A and B are shown apart, each in its own frame.
Chain A
Amino acid sequence: MDSLLAARLQMAISLGFHMIFASLALGMPVLMLMAEGLYLRRGDPRYLELARTWAKVTAITFAIGAVSGTALSFELGLLWPRFMELAGPATGPAFTLEGFAFFTEAIFLGLYLYGWNRLSPRAHWLAGIPVALSSAASSVMVVASNAWMQNPVGVQTLLEEPHRFDPVAALFGNPAWPVMALHSTLACYAATAFMVAAVYAWAALKGYRDPMRRSALRMAMAMGTVAALLMPVTGDVSAKFVAQNQPVKLAAMEAQFETEAGAPLRIGGLPDPETGRVAYALEIPGMLSWLAYGDTGAVVEGLDRVPRDRWPNVPLTHIAFQVMVVAGILMVLVSAWYWWAVWRHERGARAGTAVRAGAAHGDATATGSGGAAGVLADRRLMRGLVAAGPLGIVALEAGWIVTEVGRQPWIIRDVMLTADAVTPAPGVVTTLVAFTLLYVLLSVTLVWLLRRIGHKDVPGETAGIHPAGAGDPAHPAGPGGPGGRRPATAEAGGAGAGGGR
């Protein structure tokens, strides 16, 4: 393996790993604040328990996001020194502001996590707000530097007359930035929401159907639905921008090998860069032209406009794009299904008849306390939510592959090739292997640790809702995350992972 490939893989693995935790660190504080806010307003202890548990998850994901982010700021210089030498001054201001946002987040997270009994309830809740805001701000700032790589505003000035380079205009006057920032930040919220929803859905399948978990699911789905509905909108704006600004990337996304008027939208398919054909694709004539330019007859530039050695990896970009779109559509559908079920159950509860969704599956608790368990007793929906859990992360990672692989072979579009940016230092393959192993180790431990976080019993909440086996210590614990653990053992998990003061 050559240095370039090894460096790209190391960067990809580091970023791919970081992104999962960074996105959770973006979404979890919002859920945590929603829960604590509801607690302050209604005084219902179940919301406090949710806030506390979610705070633990926030803490762990933030810590891992922080160390992997520190790793990335080193790796930029270690793997791509030539790039940093040129781009450091241009992207630095975004990272400087990101640094302040990150710092603010670290400070207020410390206050929030350790301040349960040191701050008044209101002050404590207020301390959480900067956490949520600054994590979003960090994301927006990191995207600003990436947007500059996609669309390097002012790079000629930087190269020729550096003393006239305007960093503020280059970063924040970049039209690529708001479009990308909005879409990717929403993706982080969606990723968190669907993961959390899946954890509670799994717990519901295991028999944990108390009102607390029902509220938890509802909050997660509220966030997930808003994000999922906005994503196609921002995605469309993004794609239109890419069409204008990075036609080669659009061509790779859509496997558009030849420039043509009235280009079709290809759904699915396996592009072959050698022959320029796309096998197994469903084509909708004129649709791509319409999506990109609002006119079914518009000319869409193909990959033939650039030399072969300036193509990105077409199959990877195209497939990743398809995966992202499908995941996005599925999230919208699952959200609709969920709210429809909620509406049905609430109507049923008002009419005084429990919806017998679970009864068909022989679940006694569903009929007995259908009103309290609500949608949690709907096993088919719960299975759907569990299956949808990874969709947000899948969409996030796939979208990032589209953005980054679609830009290749340029590290700064039309300015610097990735191959010219890589470090001359030997040993990249070794560090790639070592860091891959390190991240595997961290992932395994994290999953193990998150499984140990569980809810404590909220008085008067859980009785009669657990399945018959709930009191049995041999009953298998739920698989993971908040809600996954049986209440009886939740003490150990809660005390262990901390924050439960």
Chain B
Amino acid sequence: MPETVVAVVLMLALTAYAVLGGADFGGGVWDLLARGPRAEAQRQAIARAMGPVWEANHVWLIFALVLLFTAFPRAYSSLGVALFVPFHLVLAGIVLRGAAFVFRAPAATAAGPQRAWASVFGAASTITPFLLGATLAAVSSGGIRVAPDGSVSTNALHAWFSPFSLLVGALAVALFAYLAAVYLAVETRGALQEDFRRRALGAGIAVAVLAGALLPLAPRTAPHLWELVSERGRVLVATGAALALLSGWLVWRRYFLLARVTAVAEVVVLLWGWALGQWPYLIYPDVTVFNAAAPDPILRFALWATPAGLLILIPSLWLLFAVFKGENPQAGEPPGALDPRTNPARPGAGIAAGSPAAGAATAGQPTAGPVRGDGGGRGRPAGPAGPRPLGQDGGPDGARGT
């Protein structure tokens, strides 16, 4: 029983990583694909949206890994052996991507190495989720076998070069790109918003095409998974598909905020549909949640530690998102500060969401004198509340604060 609960917690962490970290990966994809007259503005919008939250978004992966080796050590060690090469590639992707996010920061003003790092950022953001998706498929499709003595054998062709794995990898990239484009459409205005709307529609079509290609493949490549998904997860997968269509339609009709909600729901539902199909296997067909579980006292520790930790984390995360994702740019906001969500429906909401601090910061300016003013001068967007002058305030600021 405790192993089931830990597995659910693990799944929740993976879900958070897919929804939050996934959108970050998608942001990198769009950074790589930034085109047209507003390419630089697109990159800056992406950097602004990611800046304050991206570190937190990626801790979910560490959390999931730690939970996996704490609670299911046998699964972790088997995966380490079976996926030695792809995981090393994932690792290189994660390291390069994280480093590049910092290194490329002043991309707008400098040439040379920083531009190179900007491409690294985009490339790593595309390759990493592809590999993560492909390994997920490998784990499900039976290409990894673990003998009772613990020795691991892999059929690389069957496991992660199979068309099934490749398609799942591509699907992951497309889904994340879709998520990111929808998020960004909410957080931009004007022509830039139209750019991200078009990108969202393109990615949505890619998701549909890839999912369509997977349907005939799955029953043959991953019959077990297919059987179970169609048996237990049928409702979930059908709901996921319906949500996908709904979300696409909402993007089409420019209801971006609702599209964001449905896009997140789509990813969550699909992921849980997969989990339900996969249950109780961690690595199909030899390692299950039950035969890989750590001793009870460890599981109980993990279960007690999780809510205790969340007691600190949830309010902190709430604060982070409240400060940066709910503010009106008119409330004295600095240029680099991310997420210029103008919400005409809530004038002044920024001050409420940003806590008394937002007002106090302004009040504090005189004492601070000219130095604190270095954000203040250029800080307040002079423009109207509507379309935010992205190209104008972007510049080096898109990268600031990294």
Contacts and interface: CB of A to CB of B under 8 A. Distances in A.
Contact of A110 (B56, B74, B372): B56
A63 B56 contact: no
Contacts, number: 317
B323 A111 contact: yes
Nearest to B117: A445
Contacts of B284: none
Given A117-B379, A496-B106, A501-B400, A89 B295 contact: yes
B360 A123 contact: yes
B101 A118 contact: no
Contacts of A456: 371, 374
Contact of A59 (B70, B99, B363, B401): B401
A81 interface: yes
A163 B295 CA distance: 5
A118 B336 CA distance: 12
Interface in B265-316: 294-298, 301-302, 305-306, 309, 312-313, 316
A454 to B, nearest CB: 13
A500 interface: yes
B86 to A, nearest CB: 10
Given A107-B313, A123-B357, A498 B117 contact: no
Interface in A96-110: 96-100, 102-104, 106-110
A275 interface: no
A144 to B, nearest CB: 13
A75 B88 CA distance: 8
Contacts of B296: 163
A100 B66 CA distance: 11
A501 B374 contact: yes
A89 B357 CA distance: 43
Contacts of B372: 45, 48, 116, 121
A95 B66 contact: yes
Contacts of A74: 65, 87, 90-91
Nearest to A492: B109
A114 interface: yes
> Chain A: interface secondary structure?
helix
A59 B400 CA distance: 10
Given A92-B70, A117-B361, A163-B297, A84 B80 contact: yes
A416 to B, nearest CB: 13
Interface in A46-71: 48-49, 59-60, 62-64, 66-71
A339 interface: no
A121 B361 contact: yes
Contacts of B295: 89, 158, 162-163, 165
> Chain B: interface secondary structure?
helix
A76 B69 contact: yes
Interface in B363-393: 363-364, 367-372, 374-376, 379
Contact of A86 (B51, B58, B73): B73
A110 B356 CA distance: 19
Given A117-B333, A118-B354, A78 B313 contact: no
Interface size class of B (residues with CB under 8 A): 35 or more
B95 A67 contact: yes
Interface stretch (A286-294, A368-376, A399-407, A422-430): A422-430
Nearest to A445: B103
A100 B379 CA distance: 34
A115 B399 CA distance: 14
A492 B65 CA distance: 40
B313 A100 contact: yes
A226 interface: no
B336 A115 contact: no
A110 B320 contact: yes
B242 interface: no
Contact of A120 (B63, B78, B316, B361): B361
Contact of A63 (B152, B334, B402): B402
A425 B81 contact: yes
B76 interface: yes
A111 B117 CA distance: 25
A423 B81 contact: yes
Contacts of A70: 58, 61-62, 91, 94-95, 98
B316 A99 contact: no
Contacts of A468: none
A304 B96 CA distance: 47
A45 B55 contact: no
A434 to B, nearest CB: 7
Contacts of B155: none
A45 B70 contact: no
A19 B71 CA distance: 27
B334 A501 contact: yes
Given A78-B84, A93-B305, 18 more contacts: A48-B368, A64-B98, A73-B65, A73-B66, A77-B80, A78-B87, A84-B73, A84-B80, A103-B59, A104-B312, A107-B317, A114-B338, A117-B332, A168-B301, A456-B374, A495-B395, A496-B109, A501-B337
15 contacts: A63-B402, A70-B91, A77-B80, A81-B77, A103-B59, A109-B55, A115-B323, A117-B337, A117-B376, A118-B334, A120-B361, A165-B297, A431-B84, A438-B92, A496-B109
Q: Which 8 pairs, one residue from A and one from B, show the smallest C-beta to C-beta distance? A: A92-B70, A88-B73, A67-B98, A120-B360, A496-B106, A77-B80, A498-B400, A162-B295
